[in-house]
């Protein structure tokens, strides 16, 4: 059978053998390559092939891309290209750091596909590809395990054929709609086109089981929903339901959609009915008069309980569209939105996925001129702008190459900061010790000066004989009976504070400008009354020389250096009451 050369038509090139002839060889190839897949490096270098209509999904900050059409003029130009892209690193869409997986290019060359759909599993650890424009192959779904890096075919659909030799050989599920019910882990596959016509078949795959044990819990027809080609499916967790809308219900002879459903009607599948393998759909007519134009091969994503729809192709003409719409599920109202830098010639055949930090990854797609310049585009939802850069906070463009150096610089800065902090702490402690030592010295000097000043004040005040003054306050002369052990005026003595006092100089031992008083002739002698001195104004000390003679020295009582002397036996003291200086 030869079809038209339209990009969306199905045709069998001349010289191609029938699917049945390839069945045995393909099965053996799949079994062999699955066993070898775990023994090889899961990624390798490669060259990206531009594609549209590929199966895509996001699992744990990683984008998975499988298959697609590589030539829009050749509808059988299927590919087994298998790529992943990390979404926790920033990148420029002109130079995308693809990871090429050799499992796709070697072990599943027979699974080259287009118009398929991708989905994560319940644990977001398996990548599921379901639906296939290429009708060669047994399984309606294949599962890639990200831990073991191996592919596993899902179980056969129940009741497709009883003959084990011919079952699934003619099975085809071109462009079905797919969504994962996150409440119960069931993957819902609805609609598409089988080998003969558009269908409203629904199949439910249990993704909670291990990869090699996933089974279809239900496969049948959803009579409440019309048969739809490339329908839109989206899980609505806040309503515990899966939404079905859009799609096309008529196709031309070249398999080009000629009529698509209106967006004034949607259908919901309750999660409980999916879990019980008795799917039930409810039809909802939307209010309002403004709805998006019908379309095929659009993309949708869910954000904040609302559904965003970007681009698509017009029925019949397949002209790419340049619009964007939002369905607010709270009141089931459509609102058209605008986006800056939207592809000028529109986009179709693409897929959309929510990523980090309010960014949307747009994968593949084409316009009237062919594949888009960038294999990936980024939509910034905060300002509704198409961008050529995927942003991750704290990471600059090209930071992946210099990440190790950046970490080293940061650690070095932290270490330098800690060392500087420690150095400053040591300096502060040393300064504190210096200040304390200065305070201590100041206190010591202040105490010393105070003691010296107190001593000087006492000396100036005449407080020279405290013991004598305490017992003798009368103005008279006292002579001891034995002038032995005289006090030498040259011998240093201590004041009451224990500070040594200097001996009197010679000129201080003689009354300035006066005449020495004659010393008494012996013990008991005293000054003659006829001397005319009414009041004693000085005192004398008698000393005995080595030859037995005695001498007397008169000391001026008002001298600033008049020293205190201890009253001892044998010392003659003339005293006057002390006169304190002003």
Tens-place pLDDT, residues 234-288: 999 999 999 999 999 999 988 899 999 999 999 999 999 998 888 999 999 999 9
Across 132-150, average pLDDT: 76
Instruction: Collect contacts of 371-375 with beta carbons under 8 A, ≥24 apart.
Output: 371/50, 371/51, 371/52, 371/72, 372/343, 372/347, 374/93, 374/94, 375/48, 375/50, 375/51, 375/93, 375/96
Of 172, 265, 230, the C-alpha closest to 348 is: 230
Mean pLDDT of the chain: 75
Integer Cα distance of 582 and 578 in angstroms = 13
Q: How many C-alpha atoms does 296 have within 13 Å on its Cβ side?
A: 26
- Report helix, strand or coil for 424: helix
Integer Cα distance of 549 and 570 in angstroms = 15
Please give the helix or strand (H or E) that residue 92 lies within, else none. strand 91-92
pLDDT tens digit sequence for 62-91: 999 999 999 998 888 888 899 999 999 999
Place 379 in a pLDDT band, splitting at 50, 70 and 90.
Answer: very high
pLDDT tens digit sequence for 430-449: 888 888 888 777 777 777 77
Residue 160 has pLDDT above 50, yes or no: yes
Across 488-513, average pLDDT: 48
Place 138 in a pLDDT band, splitting at 50, 70 and 90.
Answer: low
Integer Cα distance of 67 and 115 in angstroms = 9
pLDDT of residue 524: 45
- Determine phi and psi for 320, rounding to 5 degrees: -65, 140
User: Is-contact 126 146, C-beta < 8 A?
Assistant: yes
Strand 359-367 versus strand 370-371 pairing type:
antiparallel
Output DSSP code: residue 175.
S
Integer Cα distance of 578 and 468 in angstroms = 11
Place 139 in a pLDDT band, splitting at 50, 70 and 90.
Answer: low
Integer Cα distance of 519 and 502 in angstroms = 25
In CATH terms, 19-401 corresponds, of 3.40.50.300, 2.115.10.20, 2.120.10.80, 1.20.140.10, to 2.120.10.80
Residue 316 Ramachandran class (φ > 0 left, ψ -120 to 50 alpha, else beta) = left
Domain residue ranges in the chain: 19-401
Place 158 in a pLDDT band, splitting at 50, 70 and 90.
Answer: confident
pLDDT of residue 475: 45
64-99 exposure pattern, b = at least 16 Cβ within 10 A, e = fewer: bbbbbbbbbeebbbbbbbbbbbbbeebbebeeeebb
Place 450 in a pLDDT band, splitting at 50, 70 and 90.
Answer: confident
Place 462 in a pLDDT band, splitting at 50, 70 and 90.
Answer: low
Integer Cα distance of 123 and 110 in angstroms = 28
pLDDT of residue 33: 42
Q: How many C-alpha atoms does 436 have within 13 Å on its Cβ side?
A: 6
Integer Cα distance of 42 and 223 in angstroms = 43
| Strand order through the sheet with 333-337 | 299-303, 306-310, 324-328, 333-337
| Other beta carbons within 10 Å of 63 | 23
Across 113-142, average pLDDT: 81
Helix and strand numbers, DSSP H then E, in the chain: 5, 35
Q: Which two tokens stand for residue 45?
A: 């270098």
Q: What pTM does this model have?
A: 0.63
- Determine phi and psi for 340, rounding to 5 degrees: -75, 145
């Amino acid at each position: 059978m030869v079809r038209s050369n339209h990009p969306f038509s199905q045709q069998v090139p001349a010289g191609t053998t029938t699917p049945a002839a390839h069945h045995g060889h393909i099965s053996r190839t799949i079994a062999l390559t699955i066993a070898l897949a775990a023994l090889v490096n899961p990624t390798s270098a490669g060259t990206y092939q531009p594609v549209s209509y590929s199966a895509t999904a996001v699992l744990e900050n990683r984008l998975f891309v499988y298959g697609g059409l590589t030539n829009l003029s050749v509808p059988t130009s299927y590919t087994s290209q298998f790529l992943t892209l990390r979404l926790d690193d920033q990148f420029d869409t002109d130079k995308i750091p693809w990871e090429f997986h050799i499992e796709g290019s070697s072990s599943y060359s027979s699974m080259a596909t287009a118009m398929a759909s991708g989905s994560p599993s319940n644990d977001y650890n398996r990548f599921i590809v379901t639906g296939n424009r290429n009708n060669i192959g047994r399984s309606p779904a294949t599962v890639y395990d990200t831990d073991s890096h191996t592919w596993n075919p899902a179980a056969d659909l129940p009741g497709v054929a009883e003959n084990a030799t011919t079952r699934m050989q003619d099975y085809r599920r071109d462009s079905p709609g797919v969504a994962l019910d996150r409440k119960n882990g069931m993957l819902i596959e609805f609609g598409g086109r089988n080998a003969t016509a558009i269908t409203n078949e629904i199949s439910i795959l249990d993704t909670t089981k291990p990869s090699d044990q996933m089974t279809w819990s239900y496969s049948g027809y959803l009579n409440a929903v019309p048969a739809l080609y490339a329908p839109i499916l989206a899980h609505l967790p806040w309503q515990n339901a899966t939404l079905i809308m859009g799609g096309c219900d008529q196709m031309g002879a070249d398999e080009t959609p000629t009529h698509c459903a209106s967006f004034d009607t949607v259908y919901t599948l309750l999660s409980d009915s999916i879990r019980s393998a008795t799917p039930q759909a409810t039809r909802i007519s939307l209010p309002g008069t403004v709805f998006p134009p019908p379309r095929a091969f659009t993309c949708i994503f869910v954000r904040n309980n609302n559904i965003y729809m970007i681009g698509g192709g017009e029925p019949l003409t397949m002209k790419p569209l340049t619009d964007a719409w939002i369905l607010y599920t709270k009141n089931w109202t459509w609102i058209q939105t605008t986006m800056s830098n939207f592809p000028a010639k529109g986009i179709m055949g693409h897929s959309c996925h929510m990523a980090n930090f309010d960014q949307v990854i747009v994968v593949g797609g084409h316009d009237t001129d062919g594949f888009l310049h960038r294999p990936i585009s980024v939509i910034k939802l905060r300002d509704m702008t198409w961008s050529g850069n995927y942003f991750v906070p704290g990471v600059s463009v090209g930071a992946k190459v210099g990440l190790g150096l950046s970490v080293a610089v940061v650690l070095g800065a932290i270490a330098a900061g800690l060392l500087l902090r420690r150095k400053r702490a040591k300096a502060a402690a040393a300064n504190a010790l210096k200040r304390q030592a200065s305070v201590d010295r100041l206190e010591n000097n202040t105490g010393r000066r105070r003691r010296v000043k107190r001593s000087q004040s006492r000396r100036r005040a005449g407080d020279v004989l405290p013991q004598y003054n305490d017992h003798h306050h009368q103005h008279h002369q006292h002579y001891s009976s034995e002038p032995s052990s005289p006090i030498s005026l040259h011998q240093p003595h201590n004041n009451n504070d224990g500070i040594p006092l200097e001996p009197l100089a010679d000129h201080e031992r003689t009354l300035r400008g006066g005449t020495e008083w004659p010393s008494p002739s012996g013990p008991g002698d005293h000054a003659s009354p006829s001397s005319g001195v009414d009041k004693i104004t000085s005192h004398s000390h008698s000393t005995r020389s080595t030859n037995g003679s005695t001498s007397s020295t008169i000391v001026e009582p008002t001298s600033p250096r008049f020293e205190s002397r201890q009253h001892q036996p044998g010392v003659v003291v003339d005293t006057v009451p002390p006169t304190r200086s002003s």
